[in-house]
Chain A
Amino acid sequence: MSDRFVSRGFTGKRRQKPEAVERVPPGQYLTDDFPVLSAGPTPRTALYQWTFTIEGAGGESIHWSWQEFLQLPAQSYLVDIHCVTKWTKLDTRWEGVSIDTLLEQIDLDPRAVYVTAFCDGGYTTNMPLPDVLNGRAFVAYRYAGQPLAPEHGGPARLVVPHLYFWKSAKWVRGLRLMEKDKPGFWESLGYNNRGDPWKEQRYWGD
């Protein structure tokens, strides 16, 4: 390590929690806050105009209005989340609809191997289809017992807790199932295509 300058008495506001160390991926630190990060202004889609759409790889599609979406079977989730900017937040509580539930409603073209989440404001993120199946991902509309706040992605966001949190797209409006992978907003500019925090896959080449 080089002769780097160190600020006397500075440690930052990172927390240590020895009993939770195995829940914190490499290079991450714990926070009690829920930092707000985004690449764009808060979209303002009125609920009566909001829809969630699944576009299959063979041209098939299905969509729900907000009221229809709220009628879908929903679950509670308690998950840890990990942001690529190095903060980790344990035990976050959400309510929402599992992606499995959504995909059950449509006859999927078997060519669907990848998925791109698309959002109000144009943000996209991509992952292999298995990363959103078998309970691994959901569309959340409640956080910590309250309707999901706009700054955190409300009315609804994708949550994929086993990958870095940039994959948990805020203001999500649908999933596009695809034959070919298409890097999303951050994946196309230096961020890792997969983003597994346990393998510390932050950037290209990791």
Chain B
Amino acid sequence: MKQPITWQIAAVKTIQQETPKVKTLTLRLPDWIPHRPGQHYDLRLTAPDGYQAQRSYSIASEPERRGEIDLTIERLEDGEVSTYLHDVIQVGDQIEVRGPIGGYFVWEAKLGGPLLLIAGGSGVVPLMAMLRHRATSGSQVPTRLLYSSRTPEDVIYAGQLARWQALTDGLKIFHTFTRTQPANWAGYARRIDSEMLREVAHPLLPAPFTFVCGPTPLVEAVANGLVQIGVPPERIRTERFGPTGGSG
């Protein structure tokens, strides 16, 4: 049963620094309902004089974690909302949110696989919800994540991704670094292109469920590349993030 989305006041339970510019807020929601991995919440700030600013942030956590959600937020230098969420918000503060929102860019284990996930920067956040849900539900569908970051320090959830990489439940993770690479790096060190997509996606072809998320230029380039290597367009779902780091 679907309820209409209304604003609720969430409480900040924990704040976790993921990378120098990225934090995860865990919010406890009084009217929590399970979300579908890939969905987002809208978040709204209100100043004393009534001025409001609103942004959307993808849910990073799995729906199996009841009563609370993780929102992972990149701090943008002149971001009105992200600077507040990084520099001012404290544990115990309250934030207005509404959701969960979205019905297109979602994956649940019951949909099956294979599953191809491609992320640029903070575009990894909704894909993380999918991967956490996949792990918690015990799904073993063949899955590959291709994650583009500028530098190794920018990799969000690096620890969790490394732990998953060590398992044998059908998930493989590929990083590419476009600016600087780790010492002795033997992996990809360039922007995602068709050749990289072909190599990474190869075992999942011809028609994996494919989700691409990140800044508009990356999403467009990757979607075109996927079509070039033969992934049917109807299997590709994309979500563009603006320079604000969220989908609007």
Contact = CB atoms under 8 A, between A and B. Distances in A.
Contact of A9 (B9, B78, B88): B88
Contacts of A9: 84, 88
A4 B45 CA distance: 11
A4 B46 contact: yes
Contacts of A134: none
A8 B93 contact: yes
A14 B46 contact: no
B31 interface: no
A11 B93 CA distance: 16
A1 B46 CA distance: 14
B94 A5 contact: yes
Interface string A1-21: 100111111111110000000
B21 to A, nearest CB: 18
A6 B51 contact: no
Interface in B90-131: 93-96
B47 interface: yes
Interface string B48-72: 1011010000000000000000000
Nearest to A4: B46
A22 interface: no
Nearest to A11: B47
Interface in A1-51: 1, 4-14, 29, 33
B80 interface: yes
Contacts of B51: 11-12, 14, 29
Contacts of B78: 13, 33
Contacts of B95: 7
B93 A10 contact: no
B80 A6 contact: no
Interface string B69-81: 0000000001010
Interface of A is mostly: loop
Interface size class of A (residues with CB under 8 A): 10 to 19
A5 B94 CA distance: 9
B93 A5 contact: no
Contacts of B47: 6-7, 10-12
Contacts of B53: 10, 12
Contacts of B84: 7, 9-10
A127 B51 CA distance: 30
Given A10-B88, A12-B51, A5 B80 contact: no
Given A5-B9, A8-B94, 12 more contacts: A1-B50, A4-B46, A4-B50, A6-B46, A7-B45, A7-B46, A7-B47, A7-B84, A10-B47, A10-B88, A12-B45, A12-B80
- The 9 closest A-B CB pairs, nearest first, are A7-B45, A9-B88, A10-B45, A13-B80, A11-B47, A12-B51, A10-B47, A6-B46, A7-B46
24 contacts: A1-B50, A5-B9, A5-B46, A5-B94, A6-B47, A6-B48, A7-B45, A7-B46, A7-B84, A7-B93, A7-B94, A7-B95, A8-B93, A10-B45, A10-B53, A10-B84, A10-B88, A11-B51, A12-B53, A13-B80, A13-B83, A14-B51, A29-B51, A33-B78
